[in-house]
Structure 1
Amino acid sequence: MSLKLIAVFLALIPLLCSSFSPETPSDRRVLVLLDDFAVKSSHSLFFNSLKSRGFDLHFHLADDPKIALQRYGQYLFDALILFSPTIERFGGSVDAAAILDFVDSGHDLIVAADSNASDLIREIATECGVDFDEDPAAMVVDHSGYAVSATEGDHTLIASDDFIKSDVILGSKKIEATFFSDFSGYMRQAPVLFQGIGHSVNPTNSLVLKVLSASPSAFSANPKSKVTSPPSLTGSSISLVSVIQARNNARILISGSLSMFSNRFFRSGVQKVGSPTKHEKSGNEQFLNELSKWVFHERGHLKAVNVQHHKVGEVNEPAIYRINDDLEYSVEVYEWSGTTWEPYVSDDVQVQFYMMSPYVLKTLSTDGKGRYFTSFKVPDVYGVFQFKVEYEKLGYTSISLSKQIPVRPFRHNEYERFIPAAYPYYGAAFSMVSISPIFFG
Structure 2
Amino acid sequence: MSKLVHLLGFVTLNVFLLPFLCKSFSPETPTDRRVLVLLDDLAIQSSHSLFFKSLQSRGFDLDFKLAYDPKISLQRYGQYLYDALILFSPTIEGFGGSIDQAAILDFVDSGHDLIIGADANASDLIREIATECGVDFDEDSNALVIDHTSYAVSDTEGDHTLIASDDFINSNVILGSKKIEAPVLFQGIGHTINPTSSLVLKVLSASPSAYSANPKSKLSSPPSLTGSAISLVSIVQARNNARVLISGSLSIFSNRFFRSGVQKAGSAIKHEKSGNEQFLTELSKWVFHERGHLKAVNVRHHKVGEADEPAVYRINDDLEYSIDIYEWSGTSWEPYVADDVQLQFYMMSPYVLKTLSTDQKGHYFTSFKVPDVYGVFQFKVEYNRLGYTSLSLSKQIPVRPFRHNEYERFIPAAYPYYGAAFSMMAGFFVFTAIYLYNK
Structure 1 SS opposite 2:263: coil
Q: 1:8 aligns with which of 7, 11, 20?
A: 11
Q: Is the contact made by 2:327 and 2:335 (CA closer than 8 Å) also made in structure 1?
A: yes
Matches within 5 A, 1:282-321: 282-321=274-313
Taking the aligned partners of 1:116 and 1:12, their CA distance within structure 2 comes to 42
Residue 203 (structure 1) aligned with residue 228 (structure 2): no
Taking the aligned partners of 1:362 and 1:3, their CA distance within structure 2 comes to 63
Structure 1 SS opposite 2:126: helix
Structure 1 position 11, deviation (Å): 2.9
Change (3 A) 1:13 1:45: farther
Taking the aligned partners of 2:108 and 2:18, their CA distance within structure 1 comes to 19
Q: Is the contact made by 2:166 and 2:183 (CA closer than 8 Å) also made in structure 1?
A: yes
Matches within 5 A, 1:112-191: 112-175=117-180, 189-191=181-183
Matches within 5 A, 1:420-431: 420-431=412-423
CA deviations on 1:291-327 (whole Å, 9 max, x unpaired) are 0010111111000111000000000000111100000
Structure 1 SS opposite 2:364: strand
Taking the aligned partners of 1:266 and 1:190, their CA distance within structure 2 comes to 11
Q: Which has the larger radius of gyration?
A: 2
Q: Is the contact made by 2:32 and 2:83 (CA closer than 8 Å) also made in structure 1?
A: no
Structure 1 position 267, deviation (Å): 0.7
CA deviations on 1:122-162 (whole Å, 9 max, x unpaired) are 01011111111111111011110100112221111000000
Structure 1 position 7, deviation (Å): 4.3
Matches within 5 A, 1:2-41: 2=5, 5-17=8-20, 18=22, 19-26=24-31, 28-41=33-46
Taking the aligned partners of 2:209 and 2:12, their CA distance within structure 1 comes to 61
What letter is aligned with 1:102? F
Q: 2:338 aligns with which of 346, 350, 356?
A: 346
Taking the aligned partners of 1:212 and 1:280, their CA distance within structure 2 comes to 21
Task: Name the structure 2 match of 1:253.
Answer: 245
Structure 1 position 430, deviation (Å): 2.1
Structure 1 position 112, deviation (Å): 0.3
Structure 1 position 434, deviation (Å): 2.9
Taking the aligned partners of 2:363 and 2:345, their CA distance within structure 1 comes to 19
Task: Name the structure 2 match of 1:182.
Answer: none
Q: Is the contact made by 2:343 and 2:353 (CA closer than 8 Å) also made in structure 1?
A: yes
CA deviations on 1:302-361 (whole Å, 9 max, x unpaired) are 001110000000000001111000000001111101000011111111111111111111
Task: Name the structure 1 match of 2:437.
Answer: none
Taking the aligned partners of 1:87 and 1:48, their CA distance within structure 2 comes to 24
Q: 2:398 aligns with which of 386, 394, 406?
A: 406
Q: Is the contact made by 1:207 and 1:244 (CA closer than 8 Å) also made in structure 2?
A: yes
What letter is aligned with 1:274? G
Task: Name the structure 2 match of 1:328.
Answer: 320
Structure 1 position 12, deviation (Å): 3.2
Taking the aligned partners of 1:385 and 1:73, their CA distance within structure 2 comes to 37
Structure 2 SS opposite 1:49: helix
Cα root mean square deviation, aligned = 1.2
What letter is aligned with 1:36? D
Taking the aligned partners of 2:228 and 2:48, their CA distance within structure 1 comes to 28
What letter is aligned with 2:153? V
What letter is aligned with 1:92? G
Structure 1 position 404, deviation (Å): 0.7
Task: Name the structure 2 match of 1:105.
Answer: 110
CA deviations on 1:257-311 (whole Å, 9 max, x unpaired) are 0001001100111000110000011000000000001011111100011100000
Structure 1 position 25, deviation (Å): 1.4
Change (3 A) 1:14 1:288: farther
Taking the aligned partners of 1:289 and 1:6, their CA distance within structure 2 comes to 44
Taking the aligned partners of 1:291 and 1:13, their CA distance within structure 2 comes to 36
Task: Name the structure 1 match of 2:81.
Answer: 76
Normalising by structure 1, what TM-score?
0.95
Taking the aligned partners of 1:14 and 1:154, their CA distance within structure 2 comes to 54
Taking the aligned partners of 2:248 and 2:27, their CA distance within structure 1 comes to 30
Q: Is the contact made by 2:316 and 2:370 (CA closer than 8 Å) also made in structure 1?
A: yes
Structure 1 position 2, deviation (Å): 4.8
Taking the aligned partners of 2:407 and 2:338, their CA distance within structure 1 comes to 41
Q: 1:418 aligns with which of 374, 388, 410?
A: 410
Q: Is the contact made by 1:218 and 1:236 (CA closer than 8 Å) also made in structure 2?
A: yes
What letter is aligned with 1:247? R
Q: 2:58 aligns with which of 53, 56, 59?
A: 53
Taking the aligned partners of 1:3 and 1:332, their CA distance within structure 2 comes to 51
Taking the aligned partners of 1:261 and 1:115, their CA distance within structure 2 comes to 15
Residue 225 (structure 1) aligned with residue 217 (structure 2): yes
Structure 1 SS opposite 2:164: strand
Q: Is the contact made by 2:32 and 2:84 (CA closer than 8 Å) also made in structure 1?
A: no
Taking the aligned partners of 2:27 and 2:122, their CA distance within structure 1 comes to 34
Task: Name the structure 1 match of 2:70.
Answer: 65
Structure 1 position 173, deviation (Å): 1.3
Q: Is the contact made by 1:26 and 1:54 (CA closer than 8 Å) also made in structure 2?
A: no
Structure 1 position 435, deviation (Å): 3.1
Matches within 5 A, 1:391-402: 391-402=383-394
Taking the aligned partners of 2:411 and 2:315, their CA distance within structure 1 comes to 17
Taking the aligned partners of 2:177 and 2:315, their CA distance within structure 1 comes to 46
Q: Is the contact made by 1:87 and 1:121 (CA closer than 8 Å) also made in structure 2?
A: yes
Normalising by structure 2, what TM-score?
0.96
Structure 1 position 54, deviation (Å): 1.0
Change (3 A) 1:368 1:424: same
Task: Name the structure 2 match of 1:186.
Answer: none
Q: Is the contact made by 1:26 and 1:55 (CA closer than 8 Å) also made in structure 2?
A: no
